Structure formats: structure tokens, C-alpha cells
A and B are shown apart, each in its own frame.
Chain A
């Protein structure tokens, strides 16, 4: 079942450590956001394969936006 990974805060995409097709474990950082001088990882909620990355570095995302999809 595809599962969206949502940003839990508003911020700017600082890094994208995962790529489409990567196998990730629960708690692995998929996207790293920067907000108010802090780097905040958006983590995979469970183990799986990254199906989509929906953001680019430097892009602003709002809380609740889907930043990636896990399969």
C-alpha cells in the first residue's frame, strides 16, 4: 500500500538523503527540512521502498504537505 510521507512542520527542503527506489527503515530520514535555523528530518513512518520524492532542495513546504510516497 503506498503511504504518503507528510511534512510535520513548515520549512525549506534542505537535503534529500533518500532517492526513488531506496529501501528505507522505520525512522530513516527521507527529507531534511530547515526551519528557523534548525535541521529537522522527515522520517519514514515504517520500513519500505521510496516510490516518489515530491520536492526539490530549496523548495518551501507547508505542514501537512506530502513530500514523498512510500511503497
Chain B
């Protein structure tokens, strides 16, 4: 590998460019017309205009990206996260074009991209999954039959949709027929498809994920866990490592399951296996992200390792530079995501121009930003502006540093999630590490 095209924008594009520079690789940035003045464009050795602002005509356009790689002389592509990062056809197109895809093999992306198939595959390897019906159930009678093995409380989910629409919680068998009829009607109205499947309802679970890393020589390692329970509508807002108060047996079970899962699909490079953990310490596979994660810095801060540099090395065919026993969590780290969203208006997007930007600095503070003063925050892309990461000798110190960092941060011109993040960090349950995925939606931080 000589030159890496970074097929992304914002903070992750800058993060990857930095790792390339650290390893002596030449860099190529790509950008849309909306991003002409974006920092990532200036920081690369070369930059190539892809096309108009809408992502499908720029950052999601495979042909334009391959052409940019060709013209610029890049021989590798790092997809970042989002956009084309988990699109197996893109990875395959890169390979066909003779480009090294900095990520897992095409087949691993494909296997984990089919979310139902991924759960079946993991269950077959002995990784626990949330008990549920194997597929959609035909009618209320079939639902009753399936409910026996799923158990109560259960949740009815629309097979054709998402976003919580059509979902109904059922606490006891007697409630099932009416709930089934209602949820079918709602799913039909929302998605044109009334099919429902059943899943065990987990009450206030935690989201704990395991960072895995594998090389093409067959070594599979884990880099411990991250706690990402503070989230809304599946968008994470605060992440940390270690997961506070995680039972050692649960932790061992999680990391062993993650390694077994990664091995089963012939995984190579960085990946994350996500689990829900219930109050009794039982855990269930949710999905695998076959790419670098937004929250990878918390793992870097506690392990002292550079995940993106290692992604580049492994993609170049090198062995992992680490041994499992050397990978230790030291202290604690927390990350907050600052989005251009208005937390007082139910997180409504807040595009605009950043008139002023004061970012924090100091001991244990790291900032990963895609924007600067004067940046235009466009309606066309994800609203993530920057991430703040705080490290400490322990969790309390990391949280205190984060709280001070948020106070030292000022953004004018767009609304941000900062007021929400401050309230969350001040919340007694967050401070004592009593976290679950339903906190935000239940209004804990209003």
C-alpha cells in the first residue's frame, strides 16, 4: 500500500488521514460540492471532487469513488464509518478494481449485513441471541404458539419496518390476540406489510459491545468492551470503557463470544460485536459492525493502542502487532458526541453555519472534530459535529474531565446536544454507572 483514498468526510476522514500520515502513507481525500472548504479536503496530499452535495451523487457513488482512486493513483480505500463502509458490493468493487479495501473480507460484510441472517449465524456458533420467532408469524394463533418458547414479556415487531413503528409490548398471554391485531394493522398502515415477528422484551438492558481485531494470519483478539447505553433511537450519545460495574463472568462471556463469532465468519480487521446485557448479566448478540466505530477512541484511550493505524497495517497484510495479554484497560475513558440537533425540540436537526467554535483542551482531553469556525453544517449529511473524549485514572476522573470539557466548549450558529450531555453527566444514575438503553427515551435527562 502506498496511497489511501479516504471515502468519507467529517471527523472520521480527518482521523483516517492522521493515521495514514503516521504510517507514511500518501493520502487522497474526496469531497462533495458542499464540502469544498471542509478541513479534511485541505489535510490530504490530494483531493478529488466527487459531485453534488447529495450523498448518493458523491460519498455513496461507487463509480465516482473508484474513478477518483484511479485518477489519483490511490491503491487502497478506507471507507470510515457510515456511507459505503458496510456495503459489500463496494468492497467487492474495490477488489475488482485492484484496490485494497481497508476492512474485512467481502463475505464477512455480507454475512453480518443481513441482520436476521447474522443472528442465525451467531446462534449456530453458540453466541446467545434475543429469543424470538425464527421469522414472521402468520396469525394470532401462530403468534400464541411461538410465544411459548419466546416467553413473556415479549415484543411484537414489524418485519417490514423499523423505528419503533408497529412495535407493541405484550406482558401476558391473554393480551396477545388484541395486541397482535392492533400491531398488524399499524404495521400494514405504516409499511404496507402487516407481517410481525416476536422477540423477548428486555427490560432496561445495557448496551455493551466488544471491540475485536483479526489479521489475515488467523489471529483474533479483543480490545475489551465499551458501554454505549446512553442512546436514543439507536443513536449513541455517550460511550465509555470499561463498562462500569460489569460482572467479571459476564465480561469473560462477552469477550469469548465475540472472539468465537469473529472466528466463525473468518473476520479480518477491526470489528465490533454488539450485545444487550440484562439485569441478571445474561447477554444477547444484537449485531456486528464490520468497520471502525464512531466510539473507537475510548478503546484507544484505555488501551493506548491506535486502532486506525492497525487497520492500515492489517489491510497491508501484516500480522497484528499485539498479543492478547498485552492489551490491558488502564484507567477509564468516556466519549460524548456533539450533534447539530436541538435536544429541547426532541433532537430536531439544526443545520446552519458555525459562527463560533471553542473546543476544550487540557490533560486527558482529546477532540475529534469534522468542523471549524465558519463550517457550514449541511442538511445532506449526518449531524455529528465533533466528539469529545476524556481519559482519567478512574471513571470519576474521566467523567469530571468530560464535564469540565463540555463547560469549556462553545458552539454558536447551530443548536447542539451539549446541554443534554451536561444534564446526562450530572444525573446521579450516570454518575454511579447505573445505565440502560431506555434512559433517554424515558426522559431521564429532560
- Asked if B322 is at the interface (CB within 8 A of a chain A CB), the reply is no
Question: Interface of chain B, helix or strand or loop or mixed?
Answer: loop
- Asked if A26 is at the interface (CB within 8 A of a chain B CB), the reply is no
User: Nearest chain-A residue to B342 (Cβ)?
Assistant: A9
Across the interface, which residues of A come within 8 angstroms of B349, CB to CB? 9, 11, 35-36, 38, 40
Which residues 1-39 of A sit at the B interface, judged by CB distance below 8 A?
8-12, 34-38
- Asked if B244 is at the interface (CB within 8 A of a chain A CB), the reply is no
Which residues 341-391 of B sit at the A interface, judged by CB distance below 8 A?
341, 348-352, 379-383
**Bound state CA distance, A35 and B349, in angstroms?**
6
Evaluate contact between B348 and A37: CB separation under 8 angstroms.
no
- Asked if A56 is at the interface (CB within 8 A of a chain B CB), the reply is no
Evaluate contact between B382 and A37: CB separation under 8 angstroms.
yes
- Asked if A60 is at the interface (CB within 8 A of a chain B CB), the reply is yes
**Bound state CA distance, A37 and B382, in angstroms?**
6
Least CB distance, A3 to chain B, in whole angstroms:
22
Evaluate contact between A35 and B351: CB separation under 8 angstroms.
yes
Across the interface, which residues of A come within 8 angstroms of B340, CB to CB? 36
Evaluate contact between B348 and A60: CB separation under 8 angstroms.
no
Least CB distance, A53 to chain B, in whole angstroms:
20
Which one of B348, B350, B379, B383 has the greatest number of beta carbons of chain A within 10 Å?
Answer: B379
**Bound state CA distance, A11 and B379, in angstroms?**
6
**Bound state CA distance, A12 and B352, in angstroms?**
14
**Bound state CA distance, A60 and B328, in angstroms?**
49
**Bound state CA distance, A11 and B381, in angstroms?**
11
Least CB distance, B76 to chain A, in whole angstroms:
27
**Bound state CA distance, A37 and B349, in angstroms?**
9
User: Nearest chain-A residue to B340 (Cβ)?
Assistant: A36
Evaluate contact between A12 and B380: CB separation under 8 angstroms.
yes
**Bound state CA distance, A28 and B322, in angstroms?**
56
Evaluate contact between B380 and A10: CB separation under 8 angstroms.
no
Evaluate contact between B348 and A8: CB separation under 8 angstroms.
yes
Least CB distance, B63 to chain A, in whole angstroms:
21
Least CB distance, A8 to chain B, in whole angstroms:
7
Least CB distance, B414 to chain A, in whole angstroms:
11
**Bound state CA distance, A11 and B53, in angstroms?**
13
Name 9 A/B residue pairs within 8 A (Cβ), A-sorted: A9-B348, A10-B379, A34-B379, A35-B379, A36-B382, A36-B383, A37-B381, A37-B383, A60-B379
For the complex of A and B, the 8 pairs showing the least CB-CB separation, nearest first, are A36-B349, A36-B383, A35-B349, A35-B379, A10-B351, A11-B379, A37-B382, A10-B379
Residues of B within 8 A of A (CB): 54, 340-341, 348-352, 379-383
Residues of A within 8 A of B (CB): 8-12, 34-38, 40, 60
